[in-house]
Amino acid sequence: MSRNPNDADEHPQLVSDPDAPRSDESTAARPLHVQPVLLLAVAVGALPGTALRWWVESALPTSAGGVLWATAGVNLVGAFVLGVLLEALARRGADAGGRRLVRLCAGTGFCGALTTYSTLALEVVRTAGEGVVAVAVGYGLASVVLGVVAAAAGVWVAARRAGGGRS
Amino acid sequence: MTLVLVVLGGAVGAVTRFVVDGAWRSRRPGRFPWPTVVINVTGSFLLGMLTGLAVLRGGSPLVLQTVLGTGFCGGYTTFSSASFESVRLLEQGRWRAALGNTVGSLVVTVAAAAAGLGAVHLIG
């Protein structure tokens, strides 16, 4: 199958996001955290992230053990997804245009809001306060160590899917 | 209705995290992820205080406490970024920094949550 050689000349803008040149001009001048569109992208991603965390924490039994599992669950899933996402995006090119929007919406917004460090810390304090210090320490340490393992597994999966080693 | 407010609180928390992180990095660029540590410590202290206030009142937490605690603090603090940043430190061969970021963050956030709880009891 032969391609029309004119295609590339006629539609040079289609290669990348047509909005990219404009947004790149503004991103070059201003830091990301003061750009309204990017703030909105984070907020939009955080809505389903928070809702999902709320739903998981409500769905599991309210016994102390159930709460711990709910937090550990959303945290480990979120760490894995963030690893996949950031590695996949980094392999596709520079952080700009549509890729940057996806990173901020799905990564900073969704994964950031789905996961929570404050609830984890409070649960460790409360569990220790109930006298089961070994459970509290084990839960805290297992969470953070498995979090790193989950994020690393996500990076590994994305790297494997992309094929080849890191450049 | 509570769900809507909690979700909005989460969005405000996430945007606050994005702004704090960006403002910190633009002023003090560095390789160690201090912004995430500071965000998680301050968010844990705030959640400790909110929980302490609910305990003092007795009964179930107020809607405002749920919106600020589960919503804002949950959206503001992040476990995924903290984990991912440790992976990046490991990739750079900075084992001690990764260990400090992983275990050190846990220790200081737990201390912050306990301090938040304790602060309320001191005042109340």
* pLDDT, tens only, A98-140: 999 999 999 999 999 999 999 999 999 999 999 899 999 999 9
Residues of A in contact with B12 (CB under 8 A): 43
Tokens of A30: 């201003």
A38-90 pLDDT tens trace: 999 999 999 999 999 999 998 887 665 677 889 999 999 999 999 999 999 99
pTM of the predicted protein model: 0.87
Mean pLDDT of B62-84: 95
Residues of B in contact with A57 (CB under 8 A): 70
The pLDDT confidence band at residue B123, using thresholds 50, 70 and 90, is confident
Query: With an 8 Å Cβ cutoff, are A125 and B81 in contact?
Result: no
Return the pLDDT at B60: 73
CA B79, CA B15: separation in Å to the nearest integer?
Answer: 16
Quote ipTM for the complex.
0.95
Secondary structure class of B48 (helix, strand, coil): helix
Mean pLDDT of A2-11: 44
Q: Which long-range contacts (CB under 8 A, 24 or more apart) does A39-44 make?
A: A39/B15, A39/B18, A39/B19, A41/A101, A41/A104, A41/A105, A41/A109, A42/A104, A42/A105, A42/A108, A42/A109, A42/A112, A42/B11, A42/B14, A42/B15, A42/B18, A43/A109, A43/B11, A43/B12, A43/B14, A43/B15, A44/A105, A44/A109, A44/B11
More confident residue, A11 or A30: A30
Tokens of B37: 């540590």
Instruction: Note which residues in 62-81 of chain B have CB less than 8 A from chain A.
Output: 69-71, 73-81
Contact call for residues B74 and B16 (beta carbons, < 8 A): no
